[in-house]
Structure 1
């Protein structure tokens, strides 16, 4: 089967547009109207194609960028490409998929984490904290967890939404995975009250760190 071209892909994406889905997405800040299950189905049809993914990204269109993140090869992005892409991921879903499907899967993840940590751009700083949260869980050796707690205690309360969420996730994972630091992580969460009132669906765990830590620590072998 001949690889699809950018115009062909854009035509397929346009055919998937649903006005009701767009209206719902726009309330969350996303400018597309495609069911993500249909987006994933199209990605399976197109198949992994990194050159096509890069061309789709350069269109600047949210549906095209979401599809690009599903068909790209994260290991083939350079550090500068990842940096430039991240700084242009303003729609929430594009940002979420970029961090999870490109940055976290790149062999340059740690290099990017260090490069982005403390960046003045909230979107970039948030990505650094998301990568830090992954390290806390998967590869904590070499991380100064006490220093991370110091930064969270100092900055999380007044941080913009994206880095606040990522810092909160890091706080929770430190408390869940490190029994010796759990009391302090719980205390920070209780003192700051970040996401304490966040609505949580039945059967789901609240993102409020003290609740999250307490519940998940029961499931993780200390």
Structure 2
């Protein structure tokens, strides 16, 4: 059976459009109406398709781009591709999936982390901080954690939302994964009070760094 064409896949995405899903997604800054569970099922049925992924990305449609990221192979893109794609990512979900599913698995991930973390565009910088938070937990060797805390302490309070969230994640990860910096991380969180009042559903952990750190350490020790 031949692989589906771009138009056929777009038609399938259109058939998945749900006004209720769109309303929920729009509350989070996203502009599509496709249930993500159904989107993942479509991606699974398609399997890896690098050429189709590129075509879907070029449509500039958020649902199509999310599907593209699920059926792409990280190594099909070069560094310049990924930098351009990040700057084209207009919505939070596309941005997050690009960083998590493609950039983190790419051979140039560290190079891009360093290039993005101080970018003047706060959305681009937030990707650099998201990659840094990942390294703090998984591959901290070579990171200057004290210097990262210095930057967080100086800049997080007044950072735009998405950059602030990524920096706060870095702060929490340092406190959770590195006991020698835990007291300082908690102190920074307590003084800056970033995300202290963030609405947190029952049973979920608050993103307020001191609470987040304490809960995760409790689980590790329990």
Q: Which range, TM-score by smaller chain?
A: over 0.9
Map 1:1-222; keep pairs closer than 5 Å.
Answer: 1-220=1-220
Higher helix share goes to which structure? 2
State the Cα distance separating 1:120 from its structure 2 match.
Answer: 0.5
Q: Distance in 2 between matches of 1:192 and 1:84?
A: 33
User: Do 1:136 and 1:173's aligned partners in 2 also have CA atoms closer than 8 Å?
Assistant: yes
State the Cα distance separating 1:27 from its structure 2 match.
Answer: 2.4
**Which sections of structure 2, spanning at least 5 residues, go unmatched?**
none
Please identify runs of 4+ aligned residues in structure 1 that moved more than 2 A.
218-221
TM-score by length of 1: 0.97
**Which sections of structure 1, spanning at least 5 residues, go unmatched?**
none
Q: Distance in 1 between matches of 2:62 and 2:91?
A: 8
CA-to-aligned-CA distance 1:111-150 (integer Å, 9 cap, x gap)? 1101112001111100000000011001101000000000
Q: Distance in 1 between matches of 2:24 and 2:196?
A: 25
Q: Distance in 1 between matches of 2:23 and 2:133?
A: 32
SS in 1 for 2:190: helix
SS in 2 for 1:218: helix
SS in 2 for 1:180: helix
Q: Distance in 1 between matches of 2:24 and 2:148?
A: 36
CA-to-aligned-CA distance 1:67-116 (integer Å, 9 cap, x gap)? 00100001221000000000011111111111111111212111110111
Q: Distance in 1 between matches of 2:152 and 2:125?
A: 13
User: Do 1:176 and 1:220's aligned partners in 2 also have CA atoms closer than 8 Å?
Assistant: no
Q: Distance in 2 between matches of 1:28 and 1:155?
A: 24
Aligned-residue RMSD, C-alpha: 1.0
State the Cα distance separating 1:21 from its structure 2 match.
Answer: 1.5
Moved more, 101-110 or 161-170: 101-110
TM-score by length of 2: 0.97
Moved more, 189-198 or 24-33: 24-33
How many equivalent residue pairs?
A: 221
User: Do 1:49 and 1:72's aligned partners in 2 also have CA atoms closer than 8 Å?
Assistant: yes
Q: Distance in 1 between matches of 2:149 and 2:52?
A: 41
State the Cα distance separating 1:28 from its structure 2 match.
Answer: 2.1
